[in-house]
Structures are given as C-alpha cells and as structure tokens.
Homo-oligomer: A and B are copies of this chain.
C-alpha cells in the first residue's frame, strides 16, 4: 500500500500536480481554479486518503513545523508539566515537538542542539544547563528562533521567560521568619545558574532585612546529580547534635532536594513542622500528601509553557522583526500548607 502523493491525485484526474497543490493549500481562488475541478480534487484526495508528506514539504519550504525542546529531565514532574503545556500549545498551532532531556549536561545539550539543527526544526525552547553559553550564543548569532525557559544567561541577550526567583525565595523565607523561625537553612544545587543563585540571594536578603545574621554554613550547595545520601549528609550536618548551628527550618531550592530531604528528616525521627519547618520550590504531588503537606513556591507552569511557545512562534513567523529581546518575569505564589506550623 504505497502512500498517495500529489501526482497520484493529479494523474487520477488528468490535471497537473500544480493545480492539485493549489487546491489543497486553499489557493484555489488566488489562482482561479474552477469550482468543479476544485471539488473533484478534494473528493479524490479524500478517496485516496491523501496525507501530505511533511518531509517533502519541509525540504521545499524550509519550514518543518517542528520545534525542539531541551529540558533537564522529562521524568521530573516540573519539566513534565511544562513539557505537556508546550506540546499542547504547539499542537494548537500545528507544530510538533521533539523532546530532549539534557540531564543538565552541556555536552548532551550540544549534541541535542546539533541533532535538532539537522532535523531542521523551526525553533528551540531550551532550559540551558550551565556552561552552555557558547551554544546559546551560537543560536543567537545564527538568528535561529529560540526561547529560554527557567533560566538564562545575563550576559547573553535572549528571549526568555522565567519567574522572579529572588522575590519568591525572599517571600518564602519571610514566611518562615514571621512564624518565628530564626535558624533557617537553604539547601540548593550547584548549577551556577542564575535561577538558583537568585533563590539563595533572596533567602539571604530576607534574613538581612529581618536582622537575622546570615550564616554561610547554613547554605548547603549540592552537586546537580545528587541522591538521597548527599541530601542526608547535608541535613545531618545541619541538625547534628554536636552541631552548634542547629536549625529550625529549611528552604529547599528544588523539589528533588525537598523530597529527598523530607524522606531523610522523617528517618531521623524529626517532626515537621515541630522540629523543622519546611518550604520548597515547585509543587509536585508528593508535597500534597506528605507527612506534613509542604508549603511551596508554586510556579505558573501553564503560563510559562504557553508564553514560551507563543514567543517562539512569533519569532518564527516574523524572522526579521526589529526584535528587541523579550525578557519575561512571572510572579510565583506561596501555597501555605502545614509544613511551617502556624
């Protein structure tokens, strides 16, 4: 069962494939094709179950209606929800999306960008890992449409859409302070990325503004590929009996950290929020049903995904628009549950 092509329809009717192409692309009036031929073409196309070959189309037009998405890990619920939103919004406009998980590894992301480039994607949505500056710069230089999400590089002009991480962390920390917590730790991840940096900055500023001394020993920076044990070690250091720096609250900068952290805290026999109050970035299901449901910094993932696609398609549609880079910063909201007491 060979697939039907334009020529098949053309032969079937004894007309040229030019005509068939015109009709099926809605250019019948523009090229004044007669009504009845039009109808016949449409009929035969249906009859033969014609499906346009997007590959051929892409070769000829240079546009594939495909976008490339590079995120850290689609198995992480944060990126899962984001990816879902992007897929959905893209589909609304007739775009497909190729998913790539970079694991925050710049070498992987380099290969993925190359692969996507070869696939002639029309544009990219990227959550760039650290040390991928040159890759992003290359895209910018090549005038390739792209949008960064979740983070960006301040030194590179780019379209991006992020949340106000500084204020998010500031408010979260403030929430803890208002509830009387004084020894607040921050467990974060060593991404050298602006978003993580800003979270820790916001945390510190909140402490300063409340005249609580900032103690760098209370900021634990883990490597990106951390597991249970790394988190457990950090927490033990923070709560160790012989530790002079005993803490009463933790701000987790990611939910991966938080989930591992809570597991560890429970296994140490500590109670949330009585012994330790918790606030975390991101809002996975886990936090809703956990021992003490977790107060979180919730990010507007739906919006991020939607806007990212729209910004990208806009660039694709208008390749040589004046184009001052758009930098969109969205607000987060603090969802208060039980993990901080009251």
Contact = CB atoms under 8 A, between A and B. Distances in A.
Interface stretch (A81-89, A156-164, A182-190, A219-227): A81-89
Interface in A1-44: 1
How many identical subunits does the complex contain? 2
A263 B286 contact: no
Chain A interface size, as a band, is: 35 or more
Contacts of A56: 59
Interface of A: 1, 51-56, 58-59, 64, 66, 73-77, 80-81, 83-84, 87-88, 96-101, 114-120, 142-143, 259, 262-263, 266, 284-286, 288-291
Contacts of A120: 53-55
B96 A98 contact: yes
A20 to B, nearest CB: 16
Given A75-B80, A289-B263, A53 B118 contact: yes
A291 B288 contact: no
Given A84-B101, A88-B101, A285-B286, 16 more contacts: A1-B142, A53-B120, A55-B59, A73-B84, A74-B99, A75-B77, A75-B83, A75-B84, A77-B77, A77-B80, A77-B285, A96-B116, A99-B99, A284-B286, A286-B290, A289-B290
Given A74-B87, A84-B73, A98-B96, A117 B289 contact: no
A51 B97 CA distance: 20
